[in-house]
Structure 1
Amino acid sequence: MSLSAAHDAAWRGFLRSSALLLRVLDAELRAEHGMTHRTYDALVQLSEAPDRRLHMKDLAAALVHSASGLTRIVDGLEKSGYARREPDPANRRSTLVVLTDAGLAALKKAWPTHVRGVQRHFADQMSPEQARVLAEVFGAINADLEEG
């Protein structure tokens, strides 16, 4: 079985642009805020969680990036004062990661840099109609993968 030429080009384009885009967004966050995109991603996930806290396993599942190295990411968040670990009061064997006020402040400071980069390197490269098509396609892919 092989992909059609159009599907192969779409797949290769997706892989290449995803890698390049994340690399550029990471470089911008590092340069302006001393923060990696992985750190930014973790701060976003924690900020959107109920009470700004997630179990380690749920944070791993929520990350846009690979969850490998999650312990290092959380160690870095703690060292920066952006998050802290707490035992889950309902299950003392489970660990919660809690976003601190300093972490929320750092996220708010970095957010404009991230949005500016996404606008420039992603959104500005397509028309509103192309964006709707991409949202539909990625929505279908995500739904299929999340079901499985």
Structure 2
Amino acid sequence: MSLSREHDAAWRGFLRSSALLLRVLDAELRAAHGMSHRTYDALVQLSEAPERRLHMKDLADALVHSPSGLTRLVDGLEQAGYARREVDPANRRATLVVLTPAGLAALEAAWPTHVRGVERHFADQMTGEQARVLAEVFGAIRLSLGD
């Protein structure tokens, strides 16, 4: 079994462009804010969670990037003052990661840089119709994978 030429080109294009895009967005965040894209992603997930807190497992599931090294990531968030760990009062064996005011402020400061990068390197490369098709395709893929 093999992919059609068009599907193979789409797959390879997706892999390469997404890797390059994440690399560029990471470099821009690091240069402007001393923050990795992975840190930015974790702050976004925490900021959108109820009460700005998530169990470690839920944070791992929510991250766009690989959840490997989650403990190291949360250690870095704590060292930067962006988050803190708390024992879950409902389940003393579970750990919550809680966004701090400093973490929210860092996210708010980095957000414009991230959005400008997404606009310049992603959105500006397509028409509105192309964006609609991509959203439809990626939505179907996510749905088929149970997301």
Q: Bin the TM-score by the shorter chain.
A: over 0.9
Structure 1-normalised TM-score? 0.99
Q: In the alignment, what sits opposite 1:114? A: 114
What is the SS of the residue equivalent to 2:145?
helix
Structure 1 unaligned runs (5+)? none
What is the SS of the residue equivalent to 1:95?
strand
Q: In the alignment, what sits opposite 1:4? A: 4
The Cα RMSD (Å) is 0.5
Q: In the alignment, what sits opposite 1:23? A: 23
Q: Deviations over 1:32-55 (max 9, x none)?
A: 000000000000000000000000
In 2, Cα distance between equivalents of 1:120 and 1:71: 33
Structure 2-normalised TM-score? 0.99
Following TM superposition, the consecutive aligned residue runs of length 4 or more in structure 1 with deviations greater than 4 angstroms are: none
What is the SS of the residue equivalent to 1:146?
coil
**1:141: how far off?**
0.1
Q: In the alignment, what sits opposite 2:64? A: 64
Structure 2 unaligned runs (5+)? none
What is the SS of the residue equivalent to 2:2?
coil
**1:146: how far off?**
1.6
The answer to whether structure 1 residue 127 and structure 2 residue 101 are counterparts is no
| Percentage of pairs with the same residue | 84
In 1, Cα distance between equivalents of 2:140 and 2:94: 33
In 1, Cα distance between equivalents of 2:11 and 2:40: 26
**1:56: how far off?**
0.1
Q: In the alignment, what sits opposite 1:105? A: 105
The answer to whether structure 1 residue 83 and structure 2 residue 92 are counterparts is no
**1:22: how far off?**
0.2
How many residue pairs end up in the alignment? 147
Q: In the alignment, what sits opposite 2:144? A: 144
AA aligned to 2:45 is Q
